[in-house]
């Protein structure tokens, strides 16, 4: 049985850019830090999250997501909690390699790299982690990863294989009826020069 999301709205933020993002490499669980661009993206996301009434921030413990969350938390004067189940998918033998043709098959469930987590496994882990987060006082901001959000897109009733931009705050709200959630990215402010 596939897990379903609690019908509770939440904010999602993918971490800022890393060098491996810029190079088009599969990061997975490899703990690559934010680069200079990623740090600036996190600061811009923090500005966009001010006055959104966020109460709780939960992040992946991988440094790229945790640092992004810390930058936002500083702007919101909030602590950051972590959930190990918000970590990025393990890509096994594909980690560190350029993203390849295998990725579409992985999302479709017809191929899993050696040593990697299945897309369905990622889906269930991601949904369970979001459900734990949204059980906390809200509104909740979850700071995590791109492949994890692809799995969440499936749970939200959307096509999963869509790239999530780095550090773009997105509000996910349950439907009044039906199975498709609303996914609403915010307009980001310009950073001061």
* pLDDT by 10s per residue, the chain, length 193: 468 999 999 999 999 999 999 999 999 999 999 999 999 999 999 999 999 999 999 999 999 999 999 999 999 999 999 999 999 999 999 999 988 889 899 999 999 999 999 999 999 999 999 999 999 999 999 999 999 999 999 999 999 999 999 999 999 999 988 789 999 999 887 755 5
Concerning whether 88 is annotated as a catalytic residue, the answer is yes
**By C-alpha distance, which of 56, 72, 66 is closest to 140?**
56
Which residues neighbour 68 within 8 Å (Cβ) at sequence distance 6 or greater? 13, 15, 16, 34, 38, 41, 42, 45, 59, 143, 167
Concerning whether 17 is annotated as a catalytic residue, the answer is no
User: What global pTM score does this model have?
Assistant: 0.95
Instruction: Show the beta-strand stretches assigned E in the chain.
Output: 10-14, 56-59, 81-82, 140-144, 170-173, 182-185
3-state secondary structure of 135: coil
Calpha distance 140→7 (Å, rounded):
13
- Give me the count of residues in the chain: 193
Q: Please, what is the Cα angle at 156 between 25 and 80, to 5 degrees?
A: 65
CB atoms within 10 A of CB 187: 7
Catalytic residue among 23, 74, 85, 88: 88
Cα 184 to chain center, whole Å?
A: 14
């Amino acid at each position: 049985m596939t897990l379903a999301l609690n019908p509770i709205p939440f904010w999602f933020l993918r971490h800022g850019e890393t060098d491996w993002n810029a190079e088009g490499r599969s990061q997975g669980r490899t703990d690559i830090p934010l680069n200079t661009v990623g740090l600036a993206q996190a600061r811009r996301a923090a500005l966009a999250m001010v006055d959104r009434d966020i109460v709780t921030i939960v992040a992946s413990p991988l440094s790229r997501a945790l640092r992004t969350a810390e930058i936002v938390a500083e702007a919101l004067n909030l602590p950051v909690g972590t959930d190990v189940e918000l970590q990025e998918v393990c890509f096994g033998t594909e980690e560190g390699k350029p993203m390849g043709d295998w990725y579409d098959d992985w999302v479709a469930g017809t191929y899993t790299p050696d040593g990697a987590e299945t897309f369905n496994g990622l889906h269930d882990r991601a949904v369970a982690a979001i459900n734990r987060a949204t059980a906390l006082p809200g509104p909740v901001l979850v700071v995590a990863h791109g492949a994890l959000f692809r799995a969440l897109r499936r749970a939200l009733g959307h096509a999963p294989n869509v790239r999530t931009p780095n550090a773009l705050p997105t509000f996910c709200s349950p439907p009044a009826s039906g199975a498709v959630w609303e996914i609403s990215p915010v307009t980001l402010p310009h950073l001061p020069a």
